[in-house]
Amino acid sequence: MAIIVEKYGGTSVGSIERITAVADKVARSHEAGDQMVVVVSAMSGETNRLLGLANEIDPEASARENDVLVSTGEQVTIALLCMALHKIGQKAKSYTGGQAMILTDTAHGRARIRSIDNSRMMKDLNDGNIIVVAGFQGTDEEGNITTLGRGGSDTTAVALAAALKAGECRIYTDVDGVYTADPRIVPDARRLDKITFEEMLELSSLGTKVLQIRSVEFAGKYRVPLRVLSSFEEGPGTLISYEEDAQMESAVISGIAHNTDEAKLTITGVPDHPGVAHQILGGISAQNINIDMIIQNVGEDDTTDFTFTVPRTDFEAARRTLERVSNELGARGVRGDDAIAKVSVCGVGMRSHTGVADTMFGALAEEGINIQMISTSEIKISVVIDDKYTELAVRALHKAFELDKA
């Protein structure tokens, strides 16, 4: 008898009908002999609705209260799913993050899981219960409710799978696996049977929302057997593989990722002397704002321009800080643009191939798409473009790298 952790995302529990369907599916697995732990998200749209309510009162509302508010979405779903399971004769018990003893740090809105005490859950599982856990939430040492960042239910599921030494963690969503690009943008994107852990980590970090980046990190650390599947139809889904040679399809590029959640800031005319990068970026980091891509150019007049990207939600705060730093440094000024997209090509096969950048830039040029920033690593190339060209760029790149062909 294996412990199986299954996670159902927002659309998969988006209505009473869907919740009933999930209950049936989980009950079947339970009856087949597995011990079932189910992690659920809030019903689709609910987290955004709750965030909207807070925003109506105060866009800068207390982070602690914000977490108390948004965590209620998942609490609704755990209760409804347990009721649906009871109705069909199953023993089931709901757990909030705190009740599941998911201990996090205190970073409200982006908390990290520190530890999970599985003793209560193990007892209930061994008593024959199906365990239903609220995703996306935990509590800190003081008992405050925390949340794990958007998409955080994936991380709850993988962390629970690690803590319970589960045989498999299944992420059920509204697509039937991980594709070569977002199938909602590229109709001929292909589902991958397997993807290497490394590639999945890269795609998630580049904005592919099908798995939250933290969940992939967790999976790698504890070698959690992880699969992405559809809750709407049967199928094998996509297996995240830890084998070094799992890149079965020997493709140079395994996927195209896009991300429209970032914004770009530029500080111009900065006197060019040692320490300015530290002064500029240090001020932003001190506010816990993550900086992603950075470029610096030195002009002929011995001043330098500095451009970097930050999460769009932190754009205004970052701009205010940068304006202060600009005055301190005697720089020329600050420019901001939050209508950008980051589009990336990714694949471990890039390591041993040349010409990927050339193909990428050529495909974008052919569509008349201007590249604003570039960053590369061993297994990816990312560009920042105007966000109105996101879909065009993703489709053009998918075609240029022939990802529609098996």
In angstroms, give the least distance from the CB of 217 to ligand ASP: 15
Distance CA 361, CA 337 (A): 22
Measuring CA to CA, how many Å separate 380 from each of 254, 344, 348, 349?
10, 7, 8, 10
Please give the residues from 69 up to 88 whose contact with ligand ASP meets the rule CB under 6 A: 73
Q: Which residues contact 111 (CB under 8 A, 6 or more apart)?
A: 104, 105, 138, 140, 146, 147, 148, 149
- Distances, alpha carbon 158 to alpha carbons 53, 212, 219, 225, 331, in Å: 30, 10, 6, 9, 46
Distance CA 90, CA 76 (A): 19
Is residue 42 involved in binding ligand ASP (CB under 6 A)? yes
Q: Provide the 10 A C-beta neighbour count for residue 147.
A: 27
Q: Which is nearer to ligand ADP, 149 or 336 (CB)?
A: 149
184 vs 221, which CB is nearer to ligand ADP? 184
Nearer to ligand ADP, 73 or 305 (CB): 73
The footprint of Mg ion on this chain (CB under 5 A) covers a number of residues equal to: 2
51 or 317: whose CB is closer to ligand ASP?
51
Instruction: Establish if 151 lies at the interface with Mg ion (CB under 5 A).
Output: yes
- What is the total count of residues that contact ligand ASP (CB under 6 A)? 13
Nearer to ligand ASP, 14 or 151 (CB): 151
Q: How far apart are CA 324 and CA 386, in angstroms?
A: 27
φ/ψ of residue 131, rounded to 5: -100, 130
Instruction: Please state the closest distance from residue 208 (CB atom) to Mg ion, in A.
Output: 10
231 near ligand ASP (CB under 6 A): no
Residue 192: both structure tokens together: 């991958």
- Of 254 and 372, nearer to ligand ADP (C-beta) is 254
Of residues 133 through 152, those in contact with ligand ASP by CB under 6 A are 135-136, 150-152
User: Is 255 a residue that touches Mg ion (CB under 5 A)?
Assistant: no
Query: Where in 10-29 is the site for ligand ASP (CB under 6 A)?
Result: 10
Q: Where are the alpha helices (DSSP H) in 244-311?
A: 276-285
Comparison of 201 and 252: residue with beta carbon closer to ligand ASP = 201
Q: Are 98 and 139 in contact, with CB atoms under 8 Å apart?
A: yes
Q: In the structure encoding, which two tokens stand for residue 343, read together?
A: 């589009």
Please, what is the minimum distance in Å from the beta carbon of residue 212 to Mg ion? 6
Question: Looking at 47, 146, 180, 382, which residue binds ligand ASP (CB under 6 A)?
Answer: 47
Contacting positions for ligand ADP (CB under 6 A): 9-12, 41, 151, 173-175, 178-179, 181-184, 208-210, 255
Residue 355 in tokens: 């010409």
The contact set with Mg ion (CB under 5 A) reads 9, 151
The contact set with ligand ASP (CB under 6 A) reads 9-10, 41-42, 47, 73, 135-136, 150-154
